Amino acid sequence: MESVRWAFRCGSWSPSCSEWLLAARCVQREEKDRIGQFVFAKDSKSAMAGRLLIRKLITEKMNIPWNEIHLERTPKGKPVLAKPVLHNISQKYNFNISHQGDYVVLAAEPGLQVGVDVMKTSRPGSSTTVDFFKIMKRQFTDHEWKVIKSAGSELKQLEMFYRHWTLKESFIKAIGTGVGFNLQRIEFHLSTKQMNVEEEKKDTKLLLDGEQEDNWVFEESCSAFSDPNPARFITLNFNDLVTSAIPLTEEDYEYWEHFQKKAESPSRQHTLVRD
């Protein structure tokens, strides 16, 4: 059994009618309905791709037929394979997905807890970087803020901020605690401060409640905006997502018509903060 790292570039996916209708047929009905409720096309595409990635993983790596997969959510909102099927699994993967910016990514590990988070480095859409940092101050320790603020230019500070943020998010997603976890309980120490494009680092250390945790490995990588292949991740296309798919429902042309009416994304970027 091997680690799985997959990425799908939603930012460059403009689904045709046949693609969107096929995708909608290949997810559970309640998932289809939830995806259809997103206001913007970008969010609908990301959610759809995420569900297809999970089902592809379960079919191809865990050998469960597509039409026998039933996904549910934990009380904290993490997608998991429904328990009634678990006793038939000879190869069990833990998995997690994340979507932001252009990408949806999936990470899966056999028999290990796993969390993944992806972020696009961008300037705050509704405030200055200084004000943005003030809002987010409670989410980081004094040590982490010192590292962020000492990174150099405003853009470098934002890059360091998002690096710390994705580390924290990936950890709490791995342990499945949800938004109620106090992020100041976890502190990251970066052995390598400079991340180069297409370079992978595994030397970051975690302190939990002041004690170093040696049982966790943090894989970090960054990619240029124009690079279609994020480091460490295999980039898939739409045909890859559905190559093992078995349609679950009948075709629903109104679903395509509804999707076509959505704006791609908000006209003005808004920054979502964790509180």
Question: Is 86's pLDDT higher than 60?
Answer: no
Q: Which two tokens stand for residue 26?
A: 């290949």
Spell out the domains of the chain, with CATH numbers in brackets: 1-118+228-275 (3.90.470.20), 121-224 (3.90.470.20)
What gap in Å lies between CA 258 and CA 236, rounded to an integer? Answer: 26
DSSP notation for 203-255: --EEEETTEEE-S----EE---TT-SS-TT-EEE-HHHHHTT----S---HHH
Q: Which of 12-16, 57-61, 124-128, 257-261 has the lowest mean pLDDT?
A: 124-128
Mean pLDDT confidence for 160-166: 95
Residue 188 — pLDDT band, cuts 50, 70, 90? very high
- For residue 225, the model assigns a pLDDT of 53
Question: Is 275's pLDDT higher than 60?
Answer: no
Which positions ≥6 away from 250 have C-beta within 8 Å? 25
Residue listed under structure tokens 């002041």: 210
Question: Is 165's pLDDT higher than 70?
Answer: yes
Mean pLDDT confidence for 215-237: 79
Q: Which amino acid is at 110?
A: P
- For residue 123, the model assigns a pLDDT of 80
Question: Is 62's pLDDT higher than 50?
Answer: yes
Question: Is 116's pLDDT higher than 60?
Answer: yes
Which positions ≥6 away from 258 have C-beta within 8 Å? 36
Mean pLDDT confidence for 8-34: 96
Under 8 Å between Cβ of 223 and 198: yes
Mean pLDDT confidence for 80-88: 65
pLDDT, one tens digit per residue, over 120-149 is 888 877 688 999 999 999 999 999 999 999
Measuring CA to CA, which residue among 168, 145, 190 is closest to residue 274? Answer: 168
Measuring CA to CA, which residue among 156, 146, 53 is closest to residue 108? Answer: 53
Measuring CA to CA, which residue among 138, 154, 145 is closest to residue 188? Answer: 145
- For residue 8, the model assigns a pLDDT of 96
